[in-house]
Amino acid sequence: MQKIIQTNLANLRSPDGDKRFAAFNYILKVTDRRVDWAYEVWDEFVERLRDKDNHQRAIAAQVLCNLAKSDPDYRMAKDFSALLQVTRDERFVTARHCLQSIWKVGAAGKQQQRLVVDGLETRFRECISEKNCTLIRFDIIQGFKKLYEEIGDEKLREKALHLIETEEDGKYRKKYAGVWRDR
CATH of the domain at 104: 1.25.10
The residue ranges of the chain whose pLDDT is under 50 are 183
Is residue 79 situated within a structural domain?
A: yes
Q: What is the DSSP letter of 129?
A: G
Is residue 16 situated within a structural domain?
A: no
Q: Nearest CA to 136 among 162, 167, 111? A: 167
- Write out pLDDT tens, residues 78-122: 999 999 999 999 999 999 999 999 999 999 999 999 999 999 999
Separation in Å, CA 37 to CA 54, 142, 159:
25, 30, 34
Is residue 183 situated within a structural domain?
A: no
Contact 83, 75 (CB under 8 A): no
Q: Nearest CA to 165 among 156, 176, 154? A: 176
In the chain, the percentage of residues whose pLDDT exceeds 90 is 98
Quote the pLDDT of residue 1.
Answer: 77
Is residue 41 situated within a structural domain?
A: yes
Is residue 17 situated within a structural domain?
A: no
87 vs 57: CA distance, rounded Å? 10
Enter the pTM of the model: 0.93
Is residue 25 situated within a structural domain?
A: no
Q: What are phi and psi of 61, to 5 degrees?
A: -60, -45
Is residue 7 situated within a structural domain?
A: no
Domain hosting residue 80, numbered range: 31-178
Quote the pLDDT of residue 183.
Answer: 45
Overall number of domains in the chain: 1
